[in-house]
Amino acid sequence: METKIALAGNPNSGKTTVFNILTGSKQYVGNWPGVTVEKKEGRLRGFDNVLIQDLPGIYSLSPYSLEEVIARNYIINERPDVILNIVDASNIERNLYLTVQLLEIGLPVVAALNMMDVVRKNGDFINTARLSEMLGCEIIETAAIRGEGLMTAARRAAELAGTEKTPVPRHRFSDPVEQAVTRIGEIISGTVDPQYLRWFAIKLFERDEKVREELGLDANLSAGIENIIRNCEQELDDDAESIITNERYEFIGRLMAACVRREERKNNLTLSDKIDRIVTNRVLALPIFAAVMFVVYYISVTTAGSLLTDFANDVLFGEWIMGNLSEWLAAIGTAGWLTSLIVDGIIGGVGAVLGFLPQMVILFLMLAILEEIGYMARVAFIMDRIFRKFGLSGKSFIPMLIGSGCSVPGIMASRTIENERDRRMTIITTSFIPCGAKIPIIALIAGAIFKGAWWVAPTAYFAGIAAVVISGIILKKTKYFAGQPAPFVMELPPYHLPYAGNILRSVKERSRSFVRKAGTVILLASIVIWFFSSFGMVSGRLLWVEDMEFSILAAAGGLLAPLFAPLGFGSWQPAVATVMGLVAKEEVVGAFGVLFGVAGDALALVEEGAYEGLAAIAAHFTPLSAFSFLLFNLLCAPCFAAIGAIRREMNNAKWTWFAISYHFAFAYSISLIVYQLGLLASGAGFSPASAAALLLVAVLAYLLLHRPYNETRRLKSAAAEIHSS
């Protein structure tokens, strides 16, 4: 018989680390039914009949966020056999609020008191035996980073599930509240499972709308319950929800007094507090963040990543695979078109993308380390202060952070933003942050045009952030996005040494997604590009052409090229690569690989600092036009998969088309301004395109500086018009 364990805990309590250690490789990732919040479940190592369901990180079981609704719906409707509650022992008072609520449900609970190593290091003491007795549930001391106590807690939870023993919560509310909850329980006793009776009664006392809808009580019963609640509110002179909240915290206060002893510390500052005084400082926070991201991109793209990519592109794909395979195919008499398909189409296209995998692995590794040690949580806090000034919430940075790996889950993560206007703006702006698929484009331009210059990658990253800020200012001044951003509450976890298992798993998942796309979408796109670049219409017949300039692709690209000419890349090859980027952003590089016959960026540093193998690409660009090309491909509409995610999250065709149109208009405007003003600065003559660029600068300045849309002023104006008429 299968045993189901629900893993519940606060965000940053170490729950993800616990789940990864308990399940190892036996875990599965999907989405919760009907929503795009990630769902993880796995088998307990060594116990194939024990399923662990990792619930979203939550602070309570009140329906204030989508994660909280998902967690409590699973517990109430799916009825797991036992709940394994991960409690951050270093922040025990805040975490016990969820524990108390879980105990109210009536299911068996085992509390894993996590981060006990931090508690001991701080000199604090928790009497777990006394705490277990007062709470009415078993408590196991654990330290997830060291792997201490985790399997003991999981095994004990599985054992407890088999006993079918329903726990009796030890905490009781004050007499007026207990009487009210008891009377409500009597009213609904015939409509709910007796095991969950107390929980439903408490939720009805709190006036939980979702519970009321679920029970569907008739008017008489609802009126009787409301009368009980009002009488209690009058007696205690407070609203029902606040009454229950205060009652729980009073109980937690008694637990803290009886079971927890904290070591007196000078200035009461932990090591994390001392570090935060520097890295979250109002003056130093941004320069430190900029320096950290510069180091990340410098190592992953310019130095260590570049060395590994050199080998992958020049040696692995360029010499060993493409070179030797071409000779072998020629030796066995393979037809020229088939050799071209295999070498130039398939290996040239896919190899051009996979050659950048080493850089991406290093980038994913460094980002995973920053997330694991707790720094990225600080970045969200830092960015909230900045984003709020420009009409965005700090919650918007979380999807953007996720989107640095792939825009699709980043866009999906916006579902957790409650305010619809903030959510739409986040969906629109998330893909401005360079995702993993855009890293090959950055590296290609850096290598082919700027000879591996260190500043290209960090500039691309901060250009994305600038695009988010500018878009936030502009959109927030329109009536569709006006209003105060939603409040952002986030608990900063203490800094800790990274857990290698979590880091490697994160890198593996992101890299595997990249390779999978290269073996499917990019493979197909590369074959399509090869076909249309190798065949042309000659005298009304489809024939193989030696010169790509006479191909079908060249003809189609020639129709699009004039559109991009004002941006500096008016030849058909960059135009085709840009359009193919809509299929998958990596395919910009894949298209260059096929069209120019290179296996990647071929960053082989040879005599006099020249980059061999990229001359054909470099011939189509100047440094200014290359930078314009880079900006346009970073800021324009994302790939088809991300556009599909936008459509699902917007749930509205008009808003989806608005998002796509805004991306194109914004990218085109910025690239036009950069290229045309760059030409003027270099001494080029004035042209109609220069005039258009200056006009766009004026429009952009107006949008940034004019007064924001005022909903209150609009309503007053409308009322005045009605009154005058």
| Structure-token pair, residue 161 | 């599930």
Residues 63 and 128 in one domain: yes
The band of 651, judged by pLDDT with boundaries at 50, 70 and 90, is confident
Q: Of residues 691 and 398, which shows the higher confidence score?
A: 691
Please report whether residue 677 resides in a domain. Answer: no
Q: Let me know whether 558 and 427 are in one domain.
A: yes
pLDDT range class, residue 31, cuts 50, 70, 90? low
In this prediction, residue 693 carries a pLDDT of 95
Per-residue pLDDT at 486: 61
Mark residue 510 as left, alpha or beta (left: phi above 0; alpha: psi -120 to 50; beta: remaining): alpha
Query: pLDDT higher for 364 or 3?
Result: 3
Let me know the angle formed at the C-alpha of 392 by 391 and 394, rounded to the nearest 5 degrees. Answer: 140
Report residue 301 as tokens. Answer: 């793209």
The answer to the question of residue 506 being in a domain is yes
CB atoms within 10 A of CB 250: 12
Q: Give the residue among 360, 368, 367, 350 at the shortest CA–CA distance from 306.
A: 360
- The pLDDT score that the predictor gives to residue 428 is 93
Going through 560-693 in order, the beta strands assigned E by DSSP cover: 604-605, 611-612
User: For residues 491 and 381, what is the distance between their CA atoms, to the nearest angstrom?
Assistant: 9
| Average pLDDT of the residues in 80-101 | 93
Question: Are residues 353 and 440 in contact, defined by beta-carbon separation less than 8 angstroms?
Answer: yes
How far apart are alpha carbons 352 and 542 in whole angstroms? 28
User: Residue 192 maps to which CATH number?
Assistant: 1.10.287.1770
pLDDT of residue 313: 67
Which pLDDT value is given to residue 602?
A: 35
The Cα–Cα gap between 417 and 403 comes to 15
Least confident of 20-24, 487-491, 500-504: 487-491
**588 and 470 housed in the same domain:** yes
In this structure, the answer to whether residues 182 and 156 fall within a common structural domain is no
| Residues 344 and 488 placed together within one structural domain of the fold | yes
Mean residue pLDDT of the chain comes to 83
Provide, rounded to the nearest whole percent, the portion of the chain with pLDDT above 90: 33
- Predicted TM-score (pTM) of this structure: 0.67
**Same domain assignment for residues 574 and 606:** yes
Burial of 462 (C-beta count, 10 Å sphere; 0-12/13-18/19+): middle
Question: Which of 211, 245, 261 delimits the end of a domain?
Answer: 261
195-250 tens-digit pLDDT: 889 999 999 999 998 888 888 888 898 999 999 999 999 999 999 999 999 999 99
Give 287-312 pLDDT, tens digit per residue.
998 899 888 888 887 778 777 877 77
Which contiguous run of DSSP H or E holds residue 697? helix 688-705
Domain assignment present for 697: no
Which amino acid makes up residue 264?
E
What's the Cα-to-Cα distance from 659 to each of 606, 646, 666, rounded to whole Å?
Answer: 44, 8, 10
Residue pLDDT, tens place only, 656-670: 999 999 999 999 999
**Residue 537's beta-bridge partner residues?**
542
Mean pLDDT within 151-160: 92
Based on the domain organization, do 67 and 31 belong to the same domain? Answer: yes
* Residue 602, CA atoms < 13 Å, CB-side half-sphere: 23
Reported as a pLDDT band with limits 50, 70 and 90, residue 368 is confident
Q: What is the pLDDT of residues 472-494, one digit of tens each?
A: 888 888 888 877 666 566 667 77
Q: Distance from first CA to last CA of the chain, Å, rounded?
A: 75
Tokens for 709, please give them. Answer: 């849309």
Same-domain status, 296 and 445: yes
Burial class of 463 by CB neighbour count within 10 A (0 to 12, 13 to 18, 19+): buried
**Does 268 fall in a domain?**
no
Please indicate, yes or no, whether residues 533 and 605 belong to a single structural domain of this protein.
yes
Structural domain span for residue 305:
288-650
496 and 398 in a common domain: yes
295 with 208, same domain: the answer is: no
Indicate whether 65 belongs to any domain: yes
List C-alpha distances in Å: 232 to 217, 225, 400.
21, 11, 45
Q: Is the pLDDT of residue 677 over 90?
A: yes
Q: Which has the minimum average pLDDT: 219-228, 607-616, 625-634? A: 607-616
Q: Is residue 331 part of a domain?
A: yes
CA distance 534 to 271: 63
Q: Give the tokens for residue 213.
A: 């809808």
**242 shares a domain with 201:** yes
How many structural domains compose the chain? 3
Confidence tier at 169 by pLDDT (50, 70, 90): low
Confidence of residue 429 (pLDDT cuts 50, 70, 90): very high
SS3 165: coil
- Which pLDDT score, from 0 to 100, does residue 723 have? 45
* Least reliable range by pLDDT among 101-110, 427-436, 645-654: 645-654
Please state, in angstroms and rounded to a whole number, the distance separating the CA atoms of residues 222 and 70.
Answer: 25
Are the C-beta atoms of residues 445 and 626 closer than 8 Å to each other?
yes
Please count the CA atoms within 13 angstroms of the CA of 32 that sit on its side-chain side. 22
